[in-house]
Chains A and B, each alone.
Chain A
Amino acid sequence: MSKRVALSGNEAAAHAIRQINPDVIAAFPITPSTPIPMAVSQFIADGKMTTEFVTVESEHSAISACVGASAAGGRVMTATSANGLALMFEILYIASGMRRPIVAPVVARALSGPLNIHGDFSDVYGVRESGWVELFCQDSQEFYDTIIQSVKLAENESVLTPVMPIADGFDISHTVENWYMEDDEAVQKFIGEYHSKYSLLDTEHPVTFGAWAPPDWYYEHRRSQLEGLLNACDAFKAVDKEFGEKFGRSYGVIEKYHSDDADIVVIGMGAVSGTIKDAVDEMRANGISAGFLRVKLFRPFPYKDIIEALKGAKAIGVFDRCITAGAQTAALCTDIRSAMYGKSNIPIVNYTYGLGGRDTTVSHVKTVIEQLKEAAEGKKIDLINYINLRA
């Protein structure tokens, strides 16, 4: 039986990890994900989990140890944020290139400088090309569920790719919400045993991990690796469906909130979703045809599902919790515009929001919807718009 608890997003992650009880965790503290390794340490001290916890001296060593531990044949996890993820950058590519099914919850935070510890997608956007699956969550319940789902997804034989379940720093990680925790046994049963085909500890069948590939091989390996990542889209749908049948909650690779019949569609990811949904409700109550499309699976990008979902839209506003850094639009908006290329000529514009923990309210989103409505009617609109930024 599941039980209703009132705990923070970090605690949700920590409990998911406790129930997964991986063979090895290697982690290093960094705000705002620090409470996760703290909780792991306490769970182990209290005899509530039996994981081997490697208290490394940096995030670089955390992910490096994860790669070594995973190659040694067991289930491996870590957790990090922001600069920690940036320090892992090099090894994230190696982890995915070596097809290690590591699950690393990331509590998304702004990257320095200036130093800022609050919610922002600069870190997870920065590593979106690293070959990891990226799953954005909108609340603690989803963070908890997604971490459990991620284990099964990463270890799927057609995928064998590391997975990053993502929650906004503070907005989710440090916010206490009510959510349902499943039974330990039920979680264990859902994820099942992990059997690695090859292992460093199998001295009878020695395998070489991490050979380098010259120009006549690198390309083939990258293409082969991509296949595993692309397979994650359908594999996630299957895992999510099974999770729904078992626990009564499922999410899909995208969530359509009144978007099917909406003229104005706002697109976003993560914790801002609740705010956007409230704004959509209010605008709908005022007779405006607004909807919200939430992208949960960001990598691999489920563009087919998104194109299908945006068929009726007359104007689209894409929320990015990260500055464009010189691109025409920020990452999610660029992907949406790319997906919609040749499908329609409707305005698709970008809204930068929430940088470094800046607040985004229902009234901000309502203003966006009003702007998009005018744009749909032909009024000129800027390609990039900044929500709640002082001029």
Chain B
Amino acid sequence: MNNKKNFITPGCDKDGNLLGWRSVEIGAMVIDAGNSRMYETGSWRSEQPVWNADTCIDCMMCWLGCPDTAIIAKDGHMAGIDYFKCKGCEICVEQCPTKPNSLVMILEEKAKDLSLEEKTELAFSKEQK
């Protein structure tokens, strides 16, 4: 959903070069407002939250407390984590009221080459059993 390739990077021409002074929007206005959605802050993380849909009660406390709009709400319901945006602050995990937690942190190092299913398995296998 946040695929950079679908967009011209803000401030660049279509070849990826930074715009020159004749091409910048006057007054430093940003016409394509909201374009920070194209800026990846997921790379800041050292740990990432993983979501367990099975125990989640869809209370949306994680969504409410997320500073980075990184909890995906689909039709108003919890639908996962936007790893392109998530900075790994762990507030969602803190706010999660279920026992066991439906969100847990795993190390980015361990998560980086795993599929979502594998990550979920890694994060929740112990707790579910």
Q: A217 contacts B24, CB within 8 Å? A: yes
Docked-complex contact A97 and B34, CB < 8 angstroms: no
Option from A160, A198, A211, A220 in Cβ contact (under 8 Å) with B19? A220
Contact at B20–A208, with CB atoms within 8 Å?
A: no
Of all chain B residues, the one with the shortest Cβ separation from A219 is B21
**Which residue of A has the minimal Cβ distance to B18?**
A216
Say whether B22 faces chain A, with CB atoms less than 8 Å apart: yes
B34 touches A224 (CB 8 A): no
Residue B1 at the chain A interface, CB threshold 8 Å: no
Alpha-carbon distance between A160 and B29 when the two chains are bound, in angstroms: 13
User: Are A198 and B31 in contact, CB atoms less than 8 angstroms apart?
Assistant: yes
Q: Is the CB of B26 within 8 A of A208?
A: no
Contact of A224 among B18, B21, B30, B31 (CB under 8 A): B21
Question: Do the beta carbons of B29 and A208 come within 8 Å of each other?
Answer: yes
Q: How large is the interface on A (under 10, 10 to 19, 20 to 34, 35 or more residues)?
A: 20 to 34
Known A198-B31, A207-B33, A217-B11; contact A228-B21, beta-carbon cutoff 8 A: no
Chain A residues within an 8 Å CB radius of B26: 99, 160, 224-225, 228
A-B contact count (CB 8 A): 52
A224 and B24 contacting across the interface, CB-CB below 8 Å: yes
**Binary B-proximity of A192-227 (CB < 8 A = 1, otherwise 0):** 000000100000001111111100110111011101
Which residue on chain A has the smallest CB distance to residue B28?
A221
**B11 pairs with A206, CB closer than 8 A:** no
User: Cβ of B24 and Cβ of A208 under 8 Å apart?
Assistant: no
CA distance A217 to B29 in the complex (A): 12
> Quick check: A97 and B31 within 8 Å, CB to CB?
no
The proximity string for B residues 9-40 relative to A, scoring 1 for CB distances below 8 Å and 0 otherwise, is: 00100000011111010111111011000000
Q: Which residues from A are CB-within-8-Å of B29?
A: 98, 198, 207-209, 211
Let me know if B19 and A209 touch, CB within 8 A: no
Q: Which of the four size classes fits the interface of chain B?
A: 10 to 19
CA distance A223 to B21 in the complex (A): 6
Q: Is the CB of A207 within 8 A of B31?
A: yes
Enumerate A227-271 residues with CB–CB distance to B below 8 Å. Answer: 227-228
Name the A residues within 8 Å of B31 (CB-CB).
Answer: 198, 207
A198, B18: Cα distance in complex, Å: 23
Give the contacting residue for A211; candidates B18, B22, B30; CB below 8 A.
Answer: B30
A206 to B31, CA, bound (A): 7
- B34: shortest Cβ distance to chain A, in Å? 7
Task: Report yes or no: B28 in contact with A97, Cβ–Cβ below 8 A.
Answer: yes
A97 touches B19 (CB 8 A): no
- Which residues of A sit under 8 angstroms from B21, Cβ to Cβ? 219-221, 223-224, 227
Do residues B27 and A98 form an inter-chain contact, with CB atoms below 8 A?
Answer: yes
Other-chain contact of B33, A97, A99, A208, A228 (Cβ < 8 Å):
A208
**CA–CA, A223 to B18, complex, Å?**
15
Give the residues from 258 to 308 in chain A that come closer than 8 angstroms, CB to CB, to chain B: none
Interface 1/0s, chain B 45-80, versus A by CB < 8 A?
A: 000000000000000000000000000000000000
Least CB distance, B39 to chain A, in whole angstroms: 13
- Which of B18, B22, B24, B27 gathers most chain A CB within 10 Å? B27
Q: Residues of A contacting B34 with CB < 8 Å?
A: 206
Which residues of chain B are near A220, meaning CB under 8 Å?
A: 19-21, 24
Given contacts A98-B27, A98-B28, is CB(A224)–CB(B22) below 8 Å?
A: yes
Does A99 contact B27, Cβ atoms closer than 8 Å? yes
How many angstroms between the C-alpha atoms of A158 and B113 in the bound complex? Answer: 53
Residues from chain B with Cβ under 8 Å of A224 in the complex:
21-22, 24, 26
Partner of B30, one of A207, A216, A219, A223: A207
Residues of B within 8 A of A210 (CB): 28
> Roughly how many angstroms separate A225 CA and B25 CA in the complex, as a whole number?
10
Q: Is the CB of B28 within 8 A of A213?
A: yes
Q: Which chain A residue shows the least CB distance to B26?
A: A99
CB neighbours (8 Å) of B33 from chain A are 206-208
Q: Report B's interface with A, CB cutoff 8 A.
A: 11, 18-22, 24, 26-31, 33-34
A residues with a Cβ closer than 8 A to B are 97-100, 160, 198, 206-213, 216-217, 219-221, 223-225, 227-228
Task: Please list the 3 inter-chain residue pairs (A to B) with the smallest Cβ-Cβ separation, ordered nearest first.
Answer: A99-B27, A208-B30, A223-B21
Ordered by A's residue number, 30 sampled pairs between the chains whose C-beta atoms are within 8 Å are A97-B27, A97-B28, A98-B28, A99-B27, A160-B26, A160-B27, A206-B33, A206-B34, A207-B29, A207-B30, A207-B31, A207-B33, A208-B29, A208-B33, A209-B27, A209-B29, A212-B28, A213-B28, A217-B24, A220-B19, A220-B20, A220-B21, A221-B28, A224-B21, A224-B22, A224-B24, A224-B26, A227-B21, A227-B22, A228-B26
**Further pairs besides A98-B28, A217-B28, A225-B27: 11, Cβ < 8 Å:** A97-B27, A99-B26, A160-B27, A209-B27, A210-B28, A220-B21, A224-B21, A224-B22, A224-B26, A227-B22, A228-B26
